[in-house]
Amino acid sequence: MEVLGLDIGGSGIKGAVIDVKTGNLISDRFRIPTPDEGKPKDVAKVVKQIVDHFSYKGILGAGFPAVVHHGVAFSAANIHESWIGTDVEGLLTETSGCQSFVLNDGDAAGMAEMEFGAGRGWEKSIVIMLTIGTGIGSAVFVNGNLFPNTEFGHIEIRGKDAERRASDATRERKNLSWEDWAVRFQEVLSRYESLFSPDLFILGGGASKSFAQFKQFLKVRAEIKVAELLNQAGLVGSAMYAYRRSESDENKKIKTPKK
């Protein structure tokens, strides 16, 4: 089954056609910069451009940087505040002409890693995936089941959001060494571990590429693994989500014959 997966971010909107059975990209990735301010109608137009680029006609999935509940955005941490209360699924469906299914971007990446990446074999465990980039995204799985919209980057650490203290963007902005940054990130990991007692942390995002430079400074009970799908995870996960949602919706339409 081939599904168009999208990863909608504050700086760019990426798309690729995914084989949801294997997690492989069937097409090259295609990226368009996110419009200034990133307001709903402008972002939706870019999604339409990506759909047209691939001459795509099927369902699509989109990872979105917000709490998404029943297709509606409930937050707007790194996007324009006018998204709050917007029916993202409805807007993208109407603008693109493709039935759209939307989920939190961290959840999308986590789904892909659990199915095709570092989370394989951990289906009977508590797994926390963290994407360390502009902020800190998160996805939590309990016995293989996603607990959506956790947004752990906004848990308070020393009076600030965790991502304000220990994102990769913060490291770059403050010009911190990997060791100095790891002290901050260790504090974040320790808080997550004390609250949720995971068996495994999966680290993704930009900082994970330099894991060898800071892994020796991290001390947690849980195992730590680096994400395997890298910048493809959000695309793969969003496509998987759309496929599963569409299959579920189709099943709901099947009526039991009357006896």
Q: pLDDT tens, 85-97?
A: 999 999 999 999 9
Q: Give kind and range of the element (H or E) at residue 156.
A: strand 156-157
Region 74-84: what's the mean pLDDT? 90
Region 107-129: what's the mean pLDDT? 97
Please name the residues in contact with 175: beta carbons below 8 A apart, sequence gap of 6 or more. none
Cβ contact 44:3 at 8 Å: no
Q: pLDDT tens, 139-197?
A: 999 999 999 999 999 999 999 999 999 999 999 999 999 999 999 999 999 999 999 99
* Reported confidence tier of residue 134, pLDDT bands at 50, 70, 90: confident
Residue of 39, 186, 185, 7 whose CA lies nearest to 112 = 7
The rounded distance, in Å, linking the Cα atoms of 231 and 25 is 12
User: What structural domains does the chain harbor?
Assistant: 2-107+232-253 (3.30.420.40), 121-227 (3.30.420.40)
pTM reported for the whole predicted model: 0.91
